[in-house]
Each structure stands twice: as structure tokens, then as C-alpha cells.
Amino acid sequence: MCGIMGYVGSRPAGPILIDGLGRLEYRGYDSAGIAVLAENGGLSIHKRVGKLETLASAIADRWPNGHEGIGHTRWATHGKPSDINAHPHADCTGGVAVIHNGIVENYLELKTELATAGHSFSSETDTEVIPHLLEHYLGENEDLVTALRKTIGRLEGAHAIVAMSRQHPGTLVTARVGNAGGVVIGYGGGENLLASDLPALLPHTRRVVFLNDREVAQITATKVAYWDSEGRPLEKEPQEIPYDSVSAAKGQHKHFMLKEIMEQPESILDTIR
């Protein structure tokens, strides 16, 4: 699967997102994008087909001004490589942004349901149903974590999802379902981060938590909270990762053979694509 990066703290988010995605380029991709919640409350989304440098050059003179954001490098599944199909994707209001690894197997059914309810779509991707589902549940006055839990309950397939909303500034939410790539949460000082793999986090912190199947997390600059997919709170303590490339490459696995075994579903999906 492709690269995921998220940041919330006191530093400008844009450069951190671009740098983190650059450390995940080995995963392969055809487009890249970031979303940053600006200090004025607007959600600024920038995405480009092609290399990460293309995106970085496009925003070099107008970095989005904000301290919270998400970024993604995409490898096309549903929909051709294009600016529109790149992540992040937004809802109808432009107030919710989502990045996603995985395949929404029932996206046509969900897209039809949402379109009938008045939602409009701009891309060819399966991912775009996710921000619209979040919009729907937020419209029922659910908080962002509950909206994400309800959303993953509607999705078929395996997923790693990160979302942000201008209704909930200073907050990222993420969920992992099945084997669609990992989600690693990094604990910093007055800031927290997340990524699909350790190399993006190690310049900032060595204290991390690996999200397990059917777990949800809410991340602010000062706190991370965890639940299972049914909404039951979880206690998870960060582990210290040695700052060397071998330990980082093994991630949460004790040795490389176990890592290769556990990553076979993800590798098969990448091969099929």
C-alpha cells in the first residue's frame, strides 16, 4: 500500500507532511497530496499527479498555513492517476478530508446510496465515499471518533483511514481494519504524528504505538486515545524504537521472517495492482 502521514502540534504542518511522505517513497506511488487545517479554519487541500517533488514545487510559494494536516502518496486502484483522484478526498462541504489505504469493496453500493441522498462526487475513486459517510454521521451530531467508527462499520474490505474535520480543529482520527497497511502513531513533545511506516516518524520521535486490527485512535497535540471498533476504550502504552535502520525496518515484528509472513496479504495486493 501507499504512504500515509499525519501531524498535529505547534509547528507548520506542511513541510513535516512533505518530508514524511518523502521518507515513504519506497512504497511506490503515482500521485501525492496534503490537507492542512489553516489557522482561519479553512481546509486547504493540494494534490498533484506524479512525483512528490511536483507537489512540493506547486506549493513552494504558498505553503498552507496551519499546524494540523494529513498527507498521502497514492498508487491507483479505482480511477486513473490524476490530480482529482489523488488523496486527500473531501466531502460536499469541503470540511472533511480523508486519506486511505485499502479497497472499499462495496463502494458502488455506498456511492449510489449517498448520491441518492444528495451527495455529489468529483473523483473516480472508491475512497471518496468515506468523507461523505463521515459528513453524514457528523450531520447527525456525532463526534468525529463515533462518525469514523460508524463509517468503518459500513465499509467492506481492509482499510487504513485517517480523517480530519474543520468542525473538530486540533484533532486527527484514524482506524485500521484488516491488512491494508499499517498505522503507527508517534508521541512527541507537544505534538503527535502518525504514519503508515516508521521511517516517517523517526526524525521526530522514537515513542510509538502500532494500531491493531479494528482499532480507532484520536490524536491531538497533547493526547492520544484508543477504542476498539465497538467504542470500548483501550489502554495502549508507547514502545521505544531503537534509532537504527534495522530495528526500524522490522517495525513491531521480532524478526524479518515474521515481518514477511505478516505482510503477505499487503504484498499480494500490491502485486495484483
**Could you read off the pLDDT of 201-222 as tens digits, one per residue?**
999 999 999 999 999 999 999 9
Written as one letter, the residue type at 22 is G
pLDDT tier for residue 181 given thresholds of 50, 70 and 90: confident
Section 93-116 average pLDDT: 97
From CA 108, how far away is CA 99, in angstroms rounded?
A: 19
User: pLDDT band for position 255 (50/70/90)?
Assistant: low
User: What percentage of the chain exceeds 90 in pLDDT?
Assistant: 81
CA gap 40, 67 in Å, rounded: 11
pLDDT tens digits, one per residue of 61-94: 888 899 999 999 998 887 898 999 999 999 999 9
Q: Which domains does the chain have, with CATH numbers?
A: 4-272 (3.60.20.10)
Q: Are strands 31-38 and 66-74 parallel, antiparallel or unpaired?
A: antiparallel
What pLDDT, in 10s, does the model give residues 112-140? 999 999 999 999 999 999 999 999 999 99
Asked whether the beta carbons of 77 and 34 are under 8 A apart, the reply is no
